[in-house]
Amino acid sequence: MMIDTSDLTKTYNGRGGCRGITLQVPEGCIFGLLGPNGAGKSTFVKMLVGLHRPDSGRATVLGQPLGRPEARRKLGYLPELFRFQDWLTPVEVLRFHGRLGGLSPKETRSPAFRNRVRDTLELVGLSEAANRRVGGFSKGMQQRLGLAVALLLDPEFVILDEPASALDPIGRYEIRSLLKQLRSKGVTIFLNTHLLEDVEELCDEAAFLYEGELLASGPLDKLIGGSGESGDGGVNWRFRLGGWLPETWEELNDAVGDALSAMMRLVESDDSGNAFLTARVTDREQAGYLATLFIRSGLTLYESGPEPSNLEAWFVRMAQSRRGGVPQ
Ligand SMILES: Nc1ncnc2c1ncn2[C@@H]1O[C@H](COP(=O)(O)OP(=O)(O)OP(=O)(O)O)[C@@H](O)[C@H]1O
């Protein structure tokens, strides 16, 4: 296990933080830590990287008790809030962090390290800004540099606290590709994020924290109750229709040779002819085909679109169940 914690607790004078966290993160996976603001995610991460000392409980990271230099050397960390010296360039920042990571001045001047710096900056898309002052960087560029620092010393395990929060859609796409590439090389990635699309696309496993407590953890598809719903590459689509009659379902089925009920569910219909249907479609084109079918059958199409992601629905359900709300 990359992370193995048992009853790990850290509070701030008895308040906030996180309590009794027992969690395992297997090697080679991308693991997502989820939870609303203030759930205790950063507190948990800070204990793992040795920035906070736990009040109680046990934990190992890379098989070593917390804070061991041997484990830290194999660990890359991108903190949630960081700021690099404005007057340095990315090359200088990375050289400085090479020194902080235990390399000698001679080693950081070696051609091998220079190549490593060049390759790391290329990996995060900062090659062209390699010799510009960090003070003039956008938030997204600073975040890329933070990622470069985390990856500089070829870590076996990286802990990233909100790695994509300041990035534009292209930047997020690039970082997602980079994280997949790292996983394929055997690097384990622990991701603390609010970006559920990233979690859905990237993570093999996840955990949900709420008000300092761990409410659930495990493989993502099991957590969100996917059983065949996730992983098949399809999309859940919803349609709101008017002009629905009791015989409409059968007529539609006749039109597509009984295939409809295999992919579609009539969620509700009322006496005024309103109906709500959901379908598992392979892509937008298939959803478009169904929409055309409805219109040709004389129905009015009021709304058609992908359902909110399973993960989002699961996230809201988990939080509502603790707030005493009614899970949808
Ligand atoms: N240094 C601190 N001093 C006092 N309380 C703190 C401190 N750091 C965090 N807390 C409290 O501990 C709780 C958990 O905070 P934490 O930052 O770990 O949550 P989080 O899940 O990372 O939140 P976010 O998603 O907003 O970053 C919150 O109630 C927060 O107010």
273: amino acid identity, one letter: G
Residues in the ligand 1 pocket, defined by CB under 6 Å: 12, 16-17, 35, 37-43
Per-residue model confidence (pLDDT) at position 228: 32
Distance, CA 101 to ligand 1 centroid (Å)? Answer: 27
| Residue 138 forms part of a structural domain | yes
Separation of alpha carbons 165 and 75, rounded Å: 21
| pLDDT at position 325 | 45
Biggest distance spanned by C-alpha atoms of the chain: 81
Candidate from 12, 46, 195 with most ligand 1 atoms within 8 A of CB, to mutate: 12
Structural domain includes residue 322: no
Structural domain for 271, as ranges: 235-306
Q: Pick the residue with more confidence: 306 or 229?
A: 306
Buried b (16+ CB within 10 A) or exposed e, 45-82: bbbbbbebebeebebbbbeeebeeeebbebbbbbbeee
Q: What percent of the chain has pLDDT over 70?
A: 94
Whether residue 139 sits in one domain with residue 264? no
> Residue 320's pLDDT is what?
73
Q: For residues 323 and 305, what is the distance between their CA atoms, to the nearest angstrom?
A: 29
Nearest CA to ligand 1 atom 14: 40
- Put the strands of the sheet holding 15-25 in their side by side order: 15-25, 3-12, 56-61, 64-65
Residue 121 near residue 94, CB atoms below 8 Å: yes
How far apart are alpha carbons 29 and 158 in whole angstroms?
11
Please tell me whether residues 268 and 298 are part of one structural domain: yes
Distance 35 CA to ligand 1 centre (A): 12
Residue 211 CA to ligand 1 center (angstroms) comes to 10
Residues 95, 195 within the same domain: yes
In a domain, 316, yes or no: no
Of ligand 1's listed atoms, the one at least distance from the Cα of 192 is: 22
Q: How far apart are CA 328 and CA 313, in angstroms?
A: 8
**Residue of 8, 9, 13, 41 best suited for mutating to test ligand 1, as the one with most atoms within 8 Å of CB:** 41
pLDDT tops 50 at residue 34 = yes
Ligand 1 mean position to 12 CA, how many Å? 9
Model pLDDT, residue 232: 56
Label the pairing between strands 64-65 and 56-61.
antiparallel
Domain end (from 223, 256, 289): 223
- Residue 210 inside a domain? The answer is yes
Length reported for the chain: 328
Residue 225 pLDDT grade (very low, low, confident, very high; cuts 50, 70, 90): low
Distances (CA, A) of 247 to 20, 45, 227, 266: 56, 57, 31, 13
* Residue 82: inside a domain: yes
Q: Is residue 292 part of a domain?
A: yes
Q: Which atom of ligand 1 is nearest to the CA of 17?
A: 12
Tell me: do 206 and 242 sit in the same domain: no
Distance (Å, rounded) from C-alpha 272 to C-alpha 23?
Answer: 51
Question: Which of these three, 223, 253, 281, is where a domain ends?
Answer: 223
> Is residue 66 located within the same domain as residue 192?
yes
Q: Highest mean pLDDT: which of 196-200, 213-217, 255-259?
A: 213-217
Task: Tell me: do 188 and 70 sit in the same domain.
Answer: yes
Q: Which residue has the higher pLDDT, 222 or 181?
A: 181
What is the CATH number for 135? Answer: 3.40.50.300
CA of 82 to the centre of ligand 1 (A): 16
C-alpha distances out from residue 138 to 22, 141, 152, 212, Å: 38, 5, 21, 33
88 with 189, same domain: the answer is yes
What totals of helices (H) and strands (E) does the chain contain, helices first? 13, 14
CB-CB contact of 267 with 198 (8 Å):
no
235-242/275-281 β-pairing? antiparallel
Does residue 132 sit in the same domain as residue 152? yes
* 115 and 188 inside one domain: yes
Rounded average pLDDT over 178-190:
93
Contact indicator for 28, 186 with CB cutoff of 8 Å: yes
| Same domain as 205, residue 56 | yes
Do residue 214 and residue 302 come from a single domain? no
* pTM of the predicted protein model: 0.76
Answer yes or no: is 323 within a domain.
no
Closest ligand 1 atom to 18 CA: 14
* Residue 324 covered by a domain: no
Do residues 173 and 265 share a domain? no
Sign of torsion, CA 135 46 192 116?
positive
The number of folded domains in the chain is: 2
DSSP secondary structure of 287-317: HHHHHHHHHHTT-EEEEEEEPPPHHHHHHHH
> Helix crossing, 248-255 with 284-296: angle to 10°?
120
Q: What does the pLDDT read at residue 70?
A: 84
Atom of ligand 1 nearest to the CA of 212: 14
The share of the chain scoring above pLDDT 90, in percent, equals: 61
In this prediction the ipTM stands at 0.97
Which residue shows structure tokens 């989002």? 312
Place of tokens 């991701």: 191
